[in-house]
Amino acid sequence: MKRVITFGEIMLRLAPEGYLRFVQADRFQATFGGGEANVAVSLANFGYSAAFVSKIPAHEIGQYCVNSMRRYGVDTSQIVRGGERLGVYYCEKGASQRASKVIYDRAASAIALAKREDFDWESILDGADWFHFTGITPALGGELPEICLDALKVCKAKNIFVSCDLNYRKKLWTREEAGKAMATLMPYVNLCIANEEDAGDVFGIHAENTELTKGKINTDGYKEVAQKLKDRFGFEKVAITLRRSFSANDNDWGAMLYDSEGFHFSKTYSVHIVDRVGGGDSFGAGLIYALLDGQSGADAIEFAVAASCLKHSIEGDFNCVSAAEVKALAQGDGSGRVQR
Amino acid sequence: MKRVITFGEIMLRLAPEGYLRFVQADRFQATFGGGEANVAVSLANFGYSAAFVSKIPAHEIGQYCVNSMRRYGVDTSQIVRGGERLGVYYCEKGASQRASKVIYDRAASAIALAKREDFDWESILDGADWFHFTGITPALGGELPEICLDALKVCKAKNIFVSCDLNYRKKLWTREEAGKAMATLMPYVNLCIANEEDAGDVFGIHAENTELTKGKINTDGYKEVAQKLKDRFGFEKVAITLRRSFSANDNDWGAMLYDSEGFHFSKTYSVHIVDRVGGGDSFGAGLIYALLDGQSGADAIEFAVAASCLKHSIEGDFNCVSAAEVKALAQGDGSGRVQR
Amino acid sequence: MKRVITFGEIMLRLAPEGYLRFVQADRFQATFGGGEANVAVSLANFGYSAAFVSKIPAHEIGQYCVNSMRRYGVDTSQIVRGGERLGVYYCEKGASQRASKVIYDRAASAIALAKREDFDWESILDGADWFHFTGITPALGGELPEICLDALKVCKAKNIFVSCDLNYRKKLWTREEAGKAMATLMPYVNLCIANEEDAGDVFGIHAENTELTKGKINTDGYKEVAQKLKDRFGFEKVAITLRRSFSANDNDWGAMLYDSEGFHFSKTYSVHIVDRVGGGDSFGAGLIYALLDGQSGADAIEFAVAASCLKHSIEGDFNCVSAAEVKALAQGDGSGRVQR
Amino acid sequence: MKRVITFGEIMLRLAPEGYLRFVQADRFQATFGGGEANVAVSLANFGYSAAFVSKIPAHEIGQYCVNSMRRYGVDTSQIVRGGERLGVYYCEKGASQRASKVIYDRAASAIALAKREDFDWESILDGADWFHFTGITPALGGELPEICLDALKVCKAKNIFVSCDLNYRKKLWTREEAGKAMATLMPYVNLCIANEEDAGDVFGIHAENTELTKGKINTDGYKEVAQKLKDRFGFEKVAITLRRSFSANDNDWGAMLYDSEGFHFSKTYSVHIVDRVGGGDSFGAGLIYALLDGQSGADAIEFAVAASCLKHSIEGDFNCVSAAEVKALAQGDGSGRVQR
Amino acid sequence: MKRVITFGEIMLRLAPEGYLRFVQADRFQATFGGGEANVAVSLANFGYSAAFVSKIPAHEIGQYCVNSMRRYGVDTSQIVRGGERLGVYYCEKGASQRASKVIYDRAASAIALAKREDFDWESILDGADWFHFTGITPALGGELPEICLDALKVCKAKNIFVSCDLNYRKKLWTREEAGKAMATLMPYVNLCIANEEDAGDVFGIHAENTELTKGKINTDGYKEVAQKLKDRFGFEKVAITLRRSFSANDNDWGAMLYDSEGFHFSKTYSVHIVDRVGGGDSFGAGLIYALLDGQSGADAIEFAVAASCLKHSIEGDFNCVSAAEVKALAQGDGSGRVQR
Amino acid sequence: MKRVITFGEIMLRLAPEGYLRFVQADRFQATFGGGEANVAVSLANFGYSAAFVSKIPAHEIGQYCVNSMRRYGVDTSQIVRGGERLGVYYCEKGASQRASKVIYDRAASAIALAKREDFDWESILDGADWFHFTGITPALGGELPEICLDALKVCKAKNIFVSCDLNYRKKLWTREEAGKAMATLMPYVNLCIANEEDAGDVFGIHAENTELTKGKINTDGYKEVAQKLKDRFGFEKVAITLRRSFSANDNDWGAMLYDSEGFHFSKTYSVHIVDRVGGGDSFGAGLIYALLDGQSGADAIEFAVAASCLKHSIEGDFNCVSAAEVKALAQGDGSGRVQR
């Protein structure tokens, strides 16, 4: 069984029911999420051995969080238990012209205050086939950029394939900070994943003439961005997700993979959104699964996009779909007919 | 008041809330449903005297089930109380490209193990104008094909109009078993109801070139299927529902009735789905209501399609609409403006 | 800070969860709403000083109602506490071709039985910049037409700007009654707000050839109606909302403002409806905010329509959006991208 | 099967969840209740034919109400459909030293405005063994005292046994009004049911030295009250319920029946309260069941008290217990051991 | 880390909310439970390595069940996936004099139809310190008595300590069947656990003069039963739980352990019940934990009773408490003061 | 109208439903609470003008918090809006021997990081009759001890009566830190409120021989503590609450007030707990209300204890009772009979 290790933060996600706004709520759906945790859960649901690495308080809320991943089969044995607080994020679901809103309360979380000595990467990465992290992890600050580097060096030594989703968060660091820190880590990365804006935000690499808010996709522009990323950092593969947002309910969703065989564009799905948070993470997980599974670049990007298409129909950060369900969609049945 | 008797199974329906997947649930909406029970509830809601016949355990869960129909005015006095278990079905609502999923747990239910002597059809059918069953009832096995035949013979003797919805369920029996058993019952049936696939699954009768999953409708093909059904079994009327599935949220929905005056195609509705389970049953109920009400074939098919169009907007198996509401839609107001 | 006074009825709103029909419910969402209360809440959410004037029983259900407005910052100190009952309305959410349904139980409410001496308008209106009421208030009968007139006369004396939303409710009075009563009040009104049908229902003023149920908009017709309203009553400004209803889920929504500078048509939004009750009220509130804020007619109508566009995405009667959110939409970002 | 007719009002009952106060609520449990409806439901649950007679609006909320009784098997065919409103009552559950609170909003309900010609008692009472009403019904005013009298005269003519629960409600009428109106009806009553205070409130008949709020029971006092009631109105039987209230959670509960064989005191139950509303009605239903069933006075009072003891453990007005469950408790098993 | 293997059935548990009766429900809390699964979850919560062995369908409901245990850290890797159905049990919570009610729908479940070849006990029991099962497992019939014997023989060979909770279920088999089957298995059992009635039901061993329903405890009688059990089957240890049931809300709870050092009676707790289903299982788990932990008999019985005392305060079958919480109670703090 | 200002922290309170443990939750009840906010809400519910002073983020979660107090009529106009985070506390309700558990996540909240210049006490305290804070406020650290001192000096200058609830929280500071900081503030305090342990924890003042966990109350000991507190700091009045905890469900509750007229012991209530968090705060609010209202010491302590007795029956931190309800209980009606 393939084994993937992901490293980052997981937060308690508090969401009002349905389309209620924060100020209307009187209870919150309590789930958990975070870029790398979402990838681990998705891979566990696909049937891989997936371990999530983080630092989580030893108290009951921390335990509740650990249980939320264990439930889906994630290996939580490498999580360091300690520290005071678990980060929280508040998530309000948008509709029509009203956008979803996310408020983070993650400062001073256990993972953000973690120390290099908390993680014994030689042991953690033992037996791993793949290591995944996102730009959010170093953005948490403290010793995290160095901890990431520690992990990546061990990956290199152990010849573990590394993927990184750039995932720029402007609330966590400036573009300058991100660019500098990420540039240090990129040389260890084999697969770089980005959305339409990340390459520009983090590295100042832009697709020309792409007007994102108007939803027009400039195919050549994306190729150009992928090429520039590869040129600058020597990535083996670059994947870019392409989202056109018509409203909070309706998006088009697709992606491109650039590898040694060239550019592979997936089909585009018109998705009616149940919950789009975690959409990018489910794409990353799908891509990791497919590539580790030995699929071709063309097949892998279809699998990854189908996986993340389905995520948009699922509540919460975690993508609760099986590999078989993803394959069925990737191979063409999106009619939504009842399965009895 | 017109009186309709329906016969079959009713199950406890367990559904996670909203769009949650089974593995995410921690509570289930508990309703009840089954093809023939759904028809009875719909007819009671339209104002007819509707009795549902089945066998249901005497324990409290069975009582809960009986109450669920009594609530809507169904005559439950002909239900045999006994046996050990009430069938269960789990129903997960799909969205966008993710299909709804139904898992049946109906084996060894009280009705599946019922005996011929449990039902005194002479008494049950006394005063009835119409008898309705679906292909699911004989598919439950045991003595049910014979029990159906018992009922149909009494209908013939009493000159009660009989409708049957083919409703092929591949999890219950093979096409061969279905074809053989149903062929025995069809000679007693006056109105045959089918969806796009049933005629092919049960009797090997196909519309040529109809590509269901791509959603293209071949009008001539449907006429051909109806004609062949009528030719083979001598039905007075044949009704076929036409569904085009764009996604789990959006379908087109219409139907055709073939009677002595020819082929009547209804208008087609673009439905935004709340819950499509029971859609076919609500069509059957609408057709029974309209035909018993003395409506013309053209009017009846519009009433039936309007009834089932509305069902798609209603949670649960039961179609909770009045005849007046259906008429209003059939006569043209589908704009959904608030009624104050 | 600008201060607006609104006067009318507020009711307990009882709504089944999600898309459940009344007969399926076993609990009701309990919120509150009423045309003028909705306007006050909306203005308080925009940051204005907004006082709602009404008569509400002194018992705990009345207190619950008062609290529901206080929560959003509405000044409730001018509400008269007394009388026996708080009006109730039952609200069932429609979907697809099934319309939403509202059942009023408002007869003999405390406000409907209020007396002229209950309200000391000199004191209530002290310091106010704007007074708003709708046609529903006089329609409640009893002494309410006179109480409205009392208020309007004080407004005139104090030079307070007055807006009135015609809001014709056929369940409350006939067209004749409405026309007569409203004609008495209109001379005191500066801004008249109406939807497509109100001018015709109340004053017999019609846009020619406008076929509402088919959703075609006759621009010239609306201009004509506005012109006739202005001509007959001498309004400074006339605003008309334009709704095209495709289904209970999907509407187009826009509006027109006619003022001394001419006709200003807003952009049209395609809205995916969460809850459209209170849509017109949120428009009125948006218009009051923008005009009191000193915006041009063209900007004000865009603000008002953007505010009410957002209301369609929000559960309950109250429009829980900030002025900043409305401005962002009015200025062009309706893509619904997640805000982190 | 024994047939009982009850006549009165049924209201929508709106209750916050759990122990929430009204001002904390944001949803209400929606059930239905009313003295005579509660008795009918209880008798239907015991297996009798029980018809409830009232006037209920034809709209969907009225239908929802009718369905709520039909669900438990009550014969609702004698209900007159019409009028404008269904009464509402708000019910907040108390705990510890905080008492439960009930706010009625029942004025001008369909039944309160009903007319004598609405009810054809000859037809309604056809085939009945027993007729039951409470003091609430005439207290609703309008023509209801006369309608009650109409019914009672037909009962007398048909030799139908009549029970009346005095059920004094000070919010509905004064003691003087109650005393006068009830005195007119009492001569037709065979069984009079009262709680500790009713006889005093309605007829000025008091048990000496009974200090209710301190929870001390004066056995001789109750005998005296029953004797005086019997002497004044010639009742065949008088039943008095005895409640000692220690807190909103804990009560002692028992009763006494006075018949031709003397005074029968039941055992006393210490009840831990889930919901005590409807406790008296469940007692009445238990007594009617047992007496119609031919039980002795001593057995009947035990059955009635056991039935109402169980009611205190059940949410809502309706007593959802079977006759078998009541018998088991009356015969001694109150240990609450799990039944598998 | 100590490793315990438990073997048996786990079912979907469907429970109405709060104190609602089945017939009042419209949703069910969906959890899972079964004697041996409950023990495994409890031990995992205490920090042991606990594996549950069973056969569970491969479909999503089966997966949901597996996840429910994985969440608490149970090792589910030894579960055989296959078969058609997962057993269901319906559980209605009692209050006051109304007992809780359990309705089983477990016939023909995957585990009940499991085959001897489904389980490779050599492999499953590898590394185990303890094996636990209850009388329910062989009672499921089919090949289960033999499968149990297979397991026990391997335990003997591997010198694994074996505990068995007699857990007689009259709905599953007769006393005769139970006595015969269990007698075959007992020689392999080291620790026998029973409640007050099991020894009598299964083996005809009775404590003299113990009147269970009246709640009087005959200490000498329990000693006698334990002695007889030990004498007949050669158990190393015998534990008997002692419950006095005052009502569905209030029980006294204690236990006795008989080992080579004599009889150890625990303190008795007065418990206010939240959910008592699984109480016995939590006792078994507590005892296994304490004995494997090397505690003395006197300490172990206190730990076991404290663990199960806490279980009564927890919703669902699973005992979600830590070993530290149990120790704190066993050592004396039952005052329930808030822990901040 | 009397005006009271309270100053401190308010947090989001997240609580699983009913008796669920944290690890079982999948949603949280979202309310707000904090010692001084609770007092303000209680006083507003009693009809006083109550302003709460704090620093709360400007984002939507902060707004939600502000609205939660505004709803009950608290004056929130003096709250400083700014900072990053709102503190959170997780609250799990205990039952029987299982204690309630509170986990704080309040570090680095907006108020904890507030600056002296954030608060203009001259303006804030303008028109106030009373100022209240608790020991939690200075315990938050940063500049809060000085900010408290700033406020107290203005109180002295303005002759505003000051009350302080010692409220020692060992998670926030050590006994030494508390003792030192509080000693600086005490000279400005007129009324000192404490529970059984606070005086010892903060100032090392102990009642001799009081064994708290065993629930025995040493009356003389409390007098002694009050006397010592008064002697050391010159308080005008000292109030001590007396709790005996039998289980998480059942407590005895009373208090003592020591003033210039001597020691006043209240009656003791046996409370069946719905939610005891905020019990002490509701006592403080009751005492402030009664004393400001001019009640005698003996009456005031009865009012305060009755208020907090009722709080134990109410969900959430806020005591939602009216002054009339408290008076009714203080004057003797604790029987919990239904109020219609």
Residue E252 main-chain phi, psi, to 5 deg: -100, 150
Q: Grade residue C223 by pLDDT with cuts at 50, 70 and 90.
A: very high
Share of chain D above pLDDT 90, in %: 91
Query: Residues C22-30: what's their mean pLDDT?
Result: 97
Q: Are strands C250-259 and C269-272 parallel, antiparallel or unpaired?
A: antiparallel
Q: Judge: E24–D310 Cβ closer than 8 Å, yes or no.
A: no
User: Using CB atoms, which residue from B67, B72, B73 is nearest to D72?
Assistant: B67
User: Using CB atoms, which residue from F18, F94, F171 is nearest to E315?
Assistant: F18
Residue C268 and residue C285: Cα distance in Å, rounded? 18
Q: What is this structure's pTM?
A: 0.96
Residue A284 and residue A274: Cα distance in Å, rounded? 19
Q: Grade residue D124 by pLDDT with cuts at 50, 70 and 90.
A: very high
Query: Residues F289-299: what's their mean pLDDT?
Result: 98
User: Is the pLDDT confidence value at F164 over 90?
Assistant: yes
User: Is the pLDDT confidence value at F217 over 90?
Assistant: no
Q: Judge: C26–D29 Cβ closer than 8 Å, yes or no.
A: yes
pLDDT in tens, C263-299: 999 999 999 999 999 999 999 999 999 999 999 999 9
pLDDT at position F72 is 98
User: Is the pLDDT confidence value at D216 over 70?
Assistant: no
Query: Residues B217-230: what's their mean pLDDT?
Result: 89
pLDDT at position E339 is 85
Q: How far is A35 from chain E (nearest CA, A)?
A: 20
Residue B315 main-chain phi, psi, to 5 deg: -70, 145
User: Is the pLDDT confidence value at D214 over 60?
Assistant: no
Please check whether residue C293 is in contact with residue C250, taking contact to mean a CB–CB distance below 8 angstroms: no
Structure tokens at D32: 């239905």
**Average pLDDT along chain B:** 95
Residue A311 and residue B309: Cα distance in Å, rounded? 28
**Class of residue C73 by CB neighbours under 10 A (exposed 0-12, middle 13-18, buried 19+):** buried
User: Is the pLDDT confidence value at C212 over 60?
Assistant: no
Q: Judge: F336–D171 Cβ closer than 8 Å, yes or no.
A: no
Which residue in chain E has the smallest CA separation from A66? E71
ipTM of the complex: 0.94
Residue A95 and residue C320: Cα distance in Å, rounded? 13
User: Is the pLDDT confidence value at A213 over 80?
Assistant: no
Distance set, CA B180 to CA B183, B184, B186, B228, B280 (Å): 5, 7, 10, 17, 23
Residues E171-204: b if buried by 16+ CB within 10 A, e if exposed: ebbeeeebeebbeebbebbbbbbbbbebbbbbbe
Q: Judge: D22–C63 Cβ closer than 8 Å, yes or no.
A: yes
Q: How far is C67 from chain D (nearest CA, A)?
A: 7
pLDDT in tens, F7-49: 999 999 999 999 999 999 999 999 999 999 999 999 999 999 9
Residue B223 and residue B257: Cα distance in Å, rounded? 9
Residue D4 and residue D6: Cα distance in Å, rounded? 7
Which residue in chain E has the smallest CA separation from B316? E26
**Of the listed A198, A201, A275, A281, which one is catalytic?**
A281
Chain E residues with CB-CB distance to F217 below 8 A = none
- Active-site residue flag, F281: yes
A123 occurs within a structural domain: yes
Residues of A with CB under 8 A from a CB of B: 18, 72, 269-274, 306, 309-310, 312-316, 320-321, 325, 329, 333-340
Half-sphere exposure of A317 (CA within 13 A, CB side): 27
pLDDT at position A9 is 98
- Span between the terminal Cα atoms of chain D, in Å: 30
B21 occurs within a structural domain: yes
pLDDT in tens, B66-85: 999 999 999 999 999 999 99
Chain B residues with CB-CB distance to D72 below 8 A = 67, 70
pLDDT at position C211 is 54
**Class of residue D98 by CB neighbours under 10 A (exposed 0-12, middle 13-18, buried 19+):** buried
pLDDT in tens, E191-202: 999 998 999 999
Query: Residues E237-266: what's their mean pLDDT?
Result: 96
pLDDT at position B213 is 46
What's E207's domain CATH number?
Answer: 3.40.1190.20
User: Is the pLDDT confidence value at C213 over 60?
Assistant: no
User: Is the pLDDT confidence value at A251 over 90?
Assistant: yes
User: Using CB atoms, which residue from E18, E313, E338 is nearest to F97?
Assistant: E313
Chain E residues with CB-CB distance to A68 below 8 A = 71
Mutate which: C315, C317, C322, C327, vs A, most A CBs within 10 A:
C315
Q: Is residue C217 classed as helix, strand or coil in its secondary structure?
A: coil
Chain D residues with CB-CB distance to C172 below 8 A = none
Chain B residues with CB-CB distance to A335 below 8 A = 99, 213, 215, 245-247
pLDDT in tens, D248-283: 999 999 999 999 999 999 999 999 999 999 999 999
pLDDT in tens, D150-195: 999 999 999 999 999 999 999 999 999 999 999 999 999 999 999 9
Mutate which: D1, D63, D314, vs B, most B CBs within 10 A:
D63
Query: Residues B120-148: what's their mean pLDDT?
Result: 98
Query: Residues E91-101: what's their mean pLDDT?
Result: 97
**Of the listed F281, F293, F299, F333, which one is catalytic?**
F281
F259 occurs within a structural domain: yes
pLDDT at position F220 is 87
Residue B319 and residue B330: Cα distance in Å, rounded? 16
pLDDT at position E209 is 59
Q: Judge: C61–D22 Cβ closer than 8 Å, yes or no.
A: yes
pLDDT at position B209 is 60
F300 occurs within a structural domain: yes
Please check whether residue E309 is in contact with residue F69, taking contact to mean a CB–CB distance below 8 angstroms: no
pLDDT at position F256 is 97
Which residue in chain C has the smallest CA separation from F71? C71
B193 occurs within a structural domain: yes
Q: Grade residue F213 by pLDDT with cuts at 50, 70 and 90.
A: very low
Chains near B with 3+ CB pairs less than 8 A apart are A, C, D, E
Residue F281 and residue F265: Cα distance in Å, rounded? 18
User: Is the pLDDT confidence value at B153 over 70?
Assistant: yes
Chain C residues with CB-CB distance to A278 below 8 A = none
C335 occurs within a structural domain: no
Chains near A with 3+ CB pairs less than 8 A apart are B, C, E, F
**Average pLDDT along chain C:** 95
Query: Residues E49-69: what's their mean pLDDT?
Result: 98
Q: How far is E22 from chain D (nearest CA, A)?
A: 9
Q: Judge: F336–D247 Cβ closer than 8 Å, yes or no.
A: yes
User: Using CB atoms, which residue from F23, F27, F30 is nearest to A67?
Assistant: F23
Cβ neighbours of residue C324 under 8 Å, at least 6 residues apart? none
Which residue in chain E has the smallest CA separation from F245? E335
Q: Grade residue D213 by pLDDT with cuts at 50, 70 and 90.
A: very low
User: Is the pLDDT confidence value at E213 over 50?
Assistant: no
pLDDT at position E220 is 87
C72 occurs within a structural domain: yes
Chain B residues with CB-CB distance to A310 below 8 A = 97-98
Task: Output DSSP code: residue F318.
Answer: S
- Beta-bridge partner residues of E263: E258
Please check whether residue A242 is in contact with residue A254, taking contact to mean a CB–CB distance below 8 angstroms: yes
pLDDT at position F335 is 82
Chain C residues with CB-CB distance to A171 below 8 A = 340
pLDDT at position B282 is 98
Which residue in chain E has the smallest CA separation from D45? E23
Query: Residues E171-179: what's their mean pLDDT?
Result: 95
Q: How far is C138 from chain F (nearest CA, A)?
A: 29
F336 occurs within a structural domain: no
Q: Judge: C95–B272 Cβ closer than 8 Å, yes or no.
A: yes
pLDDT at position A339 is 85
For residue D274, give its domain range: 3-330
Q: Is residue D221 classed as helix, strand or coil in its secondary structure?
A: helix
pLDDT at position F219 is 84
Cβ neighbours of residue D58 under 8 Å, at least 6 residues apart? D81, D82
Mutate which: E31, E59, E63, vs A, most A CBs within 10 A:
E63
* Total domains, chain B: 1
Q: How far is C113 from chain D (nearest CA, A)?
A: 14
Chain C residues with CB-CB distance to A24 below 8 A = 314-316, 320
Q: Grade residue E340 by pLDDT with cuts at 50, 70 and 90.
A: confident
Q: Judge: E97–D269 Cβ closer than 8 Å, yes or no.
A: yes
Q: How would DSSP label each residue in A211-277?
A: -TTTT---HHHHHHHHHHHHHHH--SEEEEEEEEESSSSEEEEEEEEEETTEEEEPP-EEEE-S--T
Q: Judge: C85–D105 Cβ closer than 8 Å, yes or no.
A: yes
pLDDT in tens, F129-159: 999 999 999 999 999 999 999 999 999 999 9
